Amino acid sequence: MEYFTILMAGVAYGFIVGLIPVAGATVGLIAIYSFVGYFDDPYMLVVFTTAIVVSSSIGDSFCGVVMNIPGAGGAAATMIDGFPMSRRGEAARALSAAISTSWANGLIWGLLVFLFLPYYSKIVLYFGTQEMFTFLIFSMTCVVFISSKYYVRGFIALIGGFVVGHIGMDPETAAPRWTMGWEYLGDGIQMIPVMAGVLAFPELISAYRMKAEKIFLDNAMIKSQLIQGVKDSWKYRWDGLRGGFIGGFIGLIPGIGGNIADWFAYSQTVAATKNDDEKVGKGHVRGVIGCEGANNAQKATSYVPTILFGIPGAPFEVIIMGLLMYVGLELGTPAVLADTRFFDALLSSYMWSLLIILPISYMFIKYAVKITNIPFKWYFWPILASLIWSSTQYTGLKEDYMMLAICCVAGMVLKYLKFSRVSFLIGFILSARIESSYLQFTGLYEWGDLLSNPLAIIFLLLAALAAYWGAFKNKSRIDFV
C-alpha cells in the first residue's frame, strides 16, 4: 500500500512538472534531491523516480501543443505541428495523438527494457576495461558530432565540461587538482548546482521572457477529437513506431537523448512525407506522432547504460543516479545488478505508472490545459526556490550559493554563445569516468591490446563513423540543443 501511495504521488508530481514549461523530469528530479533523506526504503525512491519520469514524459507534450513553447526539451519538436493544430481548434486531437503514441511506444520499449534488464546485466561481466574505455570514446564522439550542428562548439563545450569535471582530486596522486586553493573544490564541483545552473536556470529565464499563447479546449469537441487522435495514432502507426525505434536506439547511447531523439524522429517523419499531399510542418498530425514516438522510448532505453554501467543515458538519469546513490543503490555495481528487488521495483513502477497516467491524462485533459495556461511567473518562484534549495544541500554553507551563482552565469553565457550545454554537461558528468577508465586501461593493458578485442574494435569503428557522418553527411541542419 505504501508503495502504491508513493507511486501515485510520483505520477501526480511528474505529470504536473511535465506540464510546467521547461521543467520536466530533470528539474522535477533535482527538486526532490533535498528530500531524499526521507526515503528510508531505497526501493520506494526507485518507484517514486520512475513514476516521475514516466508521467512527466506524457505531461510535457501539453506545453508544445497548447502554449507553443517547448516542454522539457522533448516537446520542442511536437510544437511544430502540434501548435498549428491547436490554432485550428484541434488541440485535443493533437494531444490525444501525442499521448497515445508516446504511451504505446513507452509500453513497447519499457517491456523490452525492464522485463529483460536482469538478463542484460549478464552482459556487464563480458564488458571489461577495454570495452568500457572504447564505449566511452564512441559516446563522446556521438555527443560532439551528432547532438548539434555546431560540432566545433560542441567539441569545445565537451572539453570545457571535461576540464571542469577534472577539478577536485587527482585520482592518481590523491592531491588537490586545479582547486586554486579553494578547499570547497577539493571533492570536485558537485553535479546538482551544475545541472541547475547550466541546464535549468537559463531555460527558466527563457521561459519567463517567452510569450506563451493561450488555447482553450472546446468542451463539445473534446470527446470526438480524443477519439480521432487515437485513430490518427493507429493510422500513422509506422511513423510512431519508427520514432520509437529511433528514440529507443538513441536512448541506448550514453549522453545523447531527449531533444536529439525527438528531432531526429521528426526529421525522419518529414523525410517520409515528402510526397504527401498534406505537408508535415504546418499542422499535420503525422508530425506530432513521428516525434512523440521517440519520447517515452528514449526514456525507457536510457535506463540501460545507466543501470548496467553506471553511465547516464540522458541528463535526467544523472539525477536519478545521484538520488539512488544517496540511498545506497549504486547503479552499475554488482550489488545492484544482482538485486532482484530493485529490478522488480523498476519494472512494476514503470508499468503501473504507464497504466495510471493514460486514463489520468485523458480524463483531466481539460484541466491539464488550464494548468498550462497559468502564467509562468507563478511557477518561476517555486521552481527557482527548489533549484536553490537542492543546490545548497552539499554543505549548506555560503560556498554552495557562490557555486550555484557561478554555474548560472556559465549557463547563460553558454546558451547565449550557442555552445552546446548538453555537451558541456556530458563532458562534466563523464569526466571522472573517462579518466578512471583511462587509468584502468593503461594500468592493465597496452594500446595494442585493443586490436585483439573485437568489441573494442567495433566501438572505435562506430566512433569514426559517427564523426564522419556528423561532420560531412549530417545535412539536417537541425540544432538539436
Partner 1 sequence: MKKLVIAALVALGMTVSSLPVMADFTFIVPQKPGSGTSVWTAIVAGELEKHLGEKIKIVNIPGANDIPGFNKFHNDLQHDDKTVMVSHGGNGVSYLVDPVDYDYYQYDPIGMMNLTIINGHSPGFNPYTGIIKFSAGSGMNPDMMAHILLKGGPDLTMAQAEEIFASQYKYIKGMSGGDRRLSFQRGGELNVTRESTAAYNKYYNGKEFSKVWFSQGVFNLETGEIDADPNWPNLSIHEVFEAKWGVAPQGEFWEAFELVRNFRDVMQKALWIKKGSPETDRLRAAFRAMAADPVSMAKIYEKTGKYDWIIGEDMVDALDILREQIQPTTLRNLVSFLQFTGKPAILKEDLIK
Q: How far apart are CA 306 and CA 66, in angstroms?
A: 33
Q: How far is the CB of 166 from partner 1 (least distance, A)?
A: 13
Q: Per-residue DSSP letters for 238-264?
A: HHHHHHHHHHHHHHHSTT--THHHHHH
Placement of cell 566512433 in the chain: 463
Q: Which is nearer to partner 1, 163 or 385 (CB)?
A: 385
Q: How far is the CB of 123 from partner 1 (least distance, A)?
A: 12
Question: Which window, 4-12, 284-292, 296-304, 435-443, contacts partner 1 (CB under 8 A)?
Answer: 435-443
Q: How far is the CB of 408 from partner 1 (least distance, A)?
A: 9
The mark string for 89-128 relative to partner 1 (x by CB under 8 A, - otherwise) is -----------------------------------xx--x
Q: How far is the CB of 381 from partner 1 (least distance, A)?
A: 5
When asked if residue 328 is in the footprint of partner 1 (CB under 8 A), the reply is yes
Q: How far apart are CA 374 and CA 216, in angstroms?
A: 12
Q: Per-residue DSSP letters for 213-239?
A: ------HHHHHHHHHHHHHHHHHTHHH
Name beta bridge partners: 177: 168
Q: How far apart are CA 50 and CA 142, in angstroms?
A: 26
Q: Which is nearer to partner 1, 151 or 201 (CB)?
A: 201
Neighbouring C-beta atoms of residue 374, cutoff 10 Å: 12
Q: How far apart are CA 21 and CA 383, in angstroms?
A: 11
Q: Which is nearer to partner 1, 363 or 439 (CB)?
A: 439
Q: How far apart are CA 291 and CA 264, in angstroms?
A: 8
C-alpha cell at 304: 540501460
Site for partner 1 in 20-59 (CB under 8 A): 37
When asked if residue 281 is in the footprint of partner 1 (CB under 8 A), the reply is no
Q: Which is nearer to partner 1, 224 or 442 (CB)?
A: 442
Query: DSSP code of 314?
Result: S
Site for partner 1 in 156-195 (CB under 8 A): 168-169, 171-176, 179, 183-184, 186-187
Residues at the site binding partner 1, with contacts judged by CB under 8 A: 37, 124-125, 128-129, 168-169, 171-176, 179, 183-184, 186-187, 205, 208, 310, 325-328, 330, 332-335, 377, 380-382, 384-385, 388-389, 392, 394-396, 435-440, 443-444
